[in-house]
Structure 1
Amino acid sequence: MTENTAPGRPGIDLPDARGRTGLDRQGRDLTGNPRVRIHDVEVLACDWSVLRRTTFDYQHSDGHWSRERRETYDRGDGATILLYDPDRRTVLLTRQFRLPAYVNGHPDGMLLETAAGLLDGDDPQEAIRREAEEETGRTVHEVEHVFDAYMSPGSVTERLSFFAAPYDGSAPGADTAGVADEGEDITVVELPFTEALALIRNGAIADAKTIMLLQWAALEGPFGHR
């Protein structure tokens, strides 16, 4: 019996580890900006996320064209939520290990954050309810959509949907949470809102999405003046 050794590239004409093909077609048909002409899209890696290198022609403000090449990291879109108790003036955050922060100078990689996660094909509101329960042990029903933002538009494609919702701080809650099968080991942290703001100033909260939601809460959210 002869083994099939037909050539193929995972994620392109062969399924990758997640069963995906055609990953090199992402972005080839974009026409929204007449000053951008996509020339080629290459898949450099496709494990859980996808790293692409796109070659395109760009027309500058003075009219001349140049050939550009950029890498984009596609991990899918996500959502995050600030859980708050307006009566007790507290917020519910999570603490977990983040390797990228650890290798880039964070003392221990343990970041204080708002609950968050990838959409995984769900509607953003459905996804954030799921993530809030998984990461904090709290069931969230009605959520408020605050805004959407590209978190690192120079290289990462992710668009994050920001939400907020009240929680009942008087009800018992878990101290730890997370999905063990996904390697999550999350500590649930309840803080007075003023203390959370102070942790931004001294650098103890260094996560962008968390800073954005806390500042929204102070300016026009539940702890601001609407």
Structure 2
Amino acid sequence: MQNPNIKILQTDILSDNWYTLNKVTFSILKKDGTKETQSREAYDRGNGAVILLYSKSTHTVILTRQFRLPTYINGNSTGMLIEACAGLLDNDNPEDCIKRETEEETGYKISKAEKIFEAYMSPGSVTEILHFFIAEYSSEMKINDGGGLEEEGENIEVLELPFNKTLSMIDSGEIKDAKTIMLLQHLKIKGIL
């Protein structure tokens, strides 16, 4: 159900290259009863899913490392980012998407993923909502080396790390990716590892 106090007046496409950047002009009814017209830019890249693979027997997690241009532009001297496996839905349901991405990026074939929550990651400028999953893994589930799809320009390093080390990597700044931090903290808070 749409909010009756907000009316979209105009949407202009500013860029439709990789994803879509829109300038949206809207009116909003303020608390004092007056209407105000505002314009904001919203980046629409579609919705996504993210997963953290964990092993209770080895007390480890599977993460990835890859180059992320926006972090490089913003001061990450190597541009490399350690993060949980993730991808865009591409018209799939979230669970099918994350199973596909897990196999492509990490080389692990999972049959079941537990959805734990959904979250907007940058609601001031990006429309994307992320579906968060966790799944237990074992060495028997490894069917290939992972690394992503060459045709998508992916060059992903798969990391198997001790869970406690990943928590200290948050403190040291080695892990700065929000979705990854949220998933690692979820495992800690829930006492899963």
Aligned counterpart for 1:165 among listed residues 121, 132, 135: 135
**For 1:78 and 1:142, how far apart are their aligned partners in 2?**
18
Aligned counterpart for 2:102 among listed residues 112, 132, 151: 132
SS at match of 2:176: coil
| Higher relative contact order, chain-length normalized (CA < 8 Å, sep 6+) | 2
Give the TM-score normalised by the residue count of structure 2: 0.96
Aligned length: 193
Aligned counterpart for 2:152 among listed residues 182, 185, 196: 182
Q: Given residue 5 of structure 2, which amino acid in structure 1 is its aligned partner?
A: R
Residues 196-215 of structure 1 aligned to structure 2 (within 5 Å): 196-215=166-185
**For 2:4 and 2:108, how far apart are their aligned partners in 1?**
47
**For 1:177 and 1:102, how far apart are their aligned partners in 2?**
20
Q: Percent identity?
A: 50
- Name the structure 1 match of 2:23: 53
Higher strand share: 2
Deviation by residue 1:90-134 (Cα, 9 ceiling, x = unmatched):
000000000001100112110000000000000100000000000
Unaligned runs of 5+ in 2: none
Q: Tell me how far 1:177 sits from its aligned partner.
A: 1.2
In the alignment, is the contact (CA less than 8 A) between 2:64 and 2:106 conserved in 1? yes
- Name the structure 1 match of 2:165: 195
- Name the structure 2 match of 1:5: none
In the alignment, is the contact (CA less than 8 A) between 1:88 and 1:169 conserved in 2? no
**For 1:42 and 1:171, how far apart are their aligned partners in 2?**
47
> Is residue 2:81 matched to residue 1:111?
yes
In the alignment, is the contact (CA less than 8 A) between 1:178 and 1:186 conserved in 2? yes
Unaligned runs of 5+ in 1: 1-30
- Name the structure 2 match of 1:151: 121
**Residues 135 and 48 (structure 1 numbering): CA distance in 2 closer, same or farther, change over 3 Å?**
same
**Residues 152 and 32 (structure 1 numbering): CA distance in 2 closer, same or farther, change over 3 Å?**
same
Q: Tell me how far 1:48 sits from its aligned partner.
A: 2.4
**For 1:172 and 1:38, how far apart are their aligned partners in 2?**
48
Deviation by residue 1:70-100 (Cα, 9 ceiling, x = unmatched):
1000000000000000111000000000000
In the alignment, is the contact (CA less than 8 A) between 2:8 and 2:25 conserved in 1? yes
**Residues 157 and 221 (structure 1 numbering): CA distance in 2 closer, same or farther, change over 3 Å?**
farther
Structure 1 outlier segments of 4+, above 3 Å: 169-176
Larger Rg: 1
- Name the structure 2 match of 1:25: none
